[in-house]
Amino acid sequence: MTTIEVFAPAKVNLTLHVTGQRADGYHALDSLVVFAGIGDIVGVSRAEEPSLTVGGPMAAGVPTDRGNLVMKAARLMDVAADIHLEKHLPAAAGLGGGSSDAAATVSALARLTGQPLPDAGDLLCLGADVPVCLQQSTARMRGVGEDVTPLPGLPELHAVLVNPGLPVMTQQVFAGLADRTNPPMPDPLPEFTSTAALIEWLAGMRNDLEAPAIAAQPVINQVFDTLKVTPGCLLTRMSGSGGTCFGLYGDAETASSAAGRLQEAYPSWWVVATVLNAAN
């Protein structure tokens, strides 16, 4: 029996500007999206009836029924498959775990069956993050998530991702926005010749969802405070609708030592040192 495995990396929003709201309630975004070295793994093989097993260190609480986005992705492809999902990413964390799993499922099933990939509109129905997650490469994401422009050549970044273990509901965070019409990033984006230049520019950008996410889960403030004082931390920001925040560092060793300190001080938090944008 042929099994196809696809890596589903964490999505990290280096910036997330909310620039408007559509009549259907969805928000217009302008976001610089990168992918991390950590992620879930999706394995698919053909079956008589659809089935799903979920394992891995972050499996607790992840749906194992038709509500799982990997099952929705298989239904969209109209393929009966045995799916095994190995969760390494926290759920409801601003890392697009479910979206990345769904995109990986679509890719895996397309390879398994030879079917074409679904069109952009169908992918968007699985989740606003699914189109960018299908690309798995650095991009500027606009619209509600359907407008994905690849951004090759961005310098790679050494990061620590920190999630305090409390789920954050994306819909609730968008609903808590005080202002829905904020400035986009510059167009075109500047060209970055070094990591330092990129981080300096990022410091002038924003994640507009930080304030409503902190209102929903005040522990995010503690994550920021803790990350900021780790030696060598150059920038902190929240990813997506939270609660995962990231710190950026000048090199892998400094990031890894910051992660070690954080994990020791907060054993219940999910802490990972990783490279963002490596395969870019």
Ligand X SMILES: C[C@@](CO)(OP(=O)(O)O)[C@H](O)COP(=O)(O)OP(=O)(O)OC[C@H]1O[C@@H](n2ccc(N)nc2=O)[C@H](O)[C@@H]1O
Query: Which of 19, 68, 99, 236 is the binder for ligand X (CB under 6 A)?
Result: 99
Catalytic residue among 11, 30, 82, 87: 11
- Pick 136 or 241: Cβ nearer ligand X: 241
Confirm or reject binding of residue 86 to ligand X (CB under 6 A).
no
Number of Cβ within a 10 Å radius of residue 60: 10
Q: How many whole angstroms separate alpha carbon 43 and alpha carbon 51? A: 12
Residue 129 a catalytic site member: yes
Q: How many whole angstroms separate alpha carbon 64 and alpha carbon 70? A: 10
Q: What's the min distance (Å) between Cβ of 265 and ligand X?
A: 26
Q: Is 243:166 a contact under the CB 8 Å cutoff?
A: yes
100 is in an annotated binding site: yes
Confirm or reject binding of residue 138 to ligand ADP (CB under 6 A).
no
Residue partners of 208: CB distance under 8 A and separation at least 6: 16, 17, 18, 177, 179, 182
Query: Which of 107, 207, 241, 254 is the binder for ligand X (CB under 6 A)?
Result: 241
- Pick 233 or 238: Cβ nearer ligand X: 238
Residues 166-225, interacting with ligand ADP (CB under 6 A): 167, 170
Q: How many whole angstroms separate alpha carbon 276 and alpha carbon 229? A: 21
Residue 11 a catalytic site member: yes
Confirm or reject binding of residue 104 to ligand ADP (CB under 6 A).
no
Q: What's the length of the chain? A: 280
In the list ligand X, ligand ADP, none, the entry touching 29 (Cβ below 5 to 8 angstroms by class) is ligand X
Q: Is 275:194 a contact under the CB 8 Å cutoff?
A: no
- Pick 104 or 160: Cβ nearer ligand ADP: 104
Query: Which of 13, 15, 68, 217 is the binder for ligand ADP (CB under 6 A)?
Result: 68
Catalytic residue among 30, 40, 82, 129: 129
What is the per-residue burial (b if ≥16 Cβ within 10 Å, else e) of 153-165? Answer: ebebbbbbbbbbe
Chain mean position to CA 239: 7
Q: Which residues are catalytic?
A: 11, 129
Residues that bind ligand X (CB under 6 A): 13, 16, 26-27, 29, 31, 94-96, 99, 127-129, 144-145, 170-171, 174, 240-241
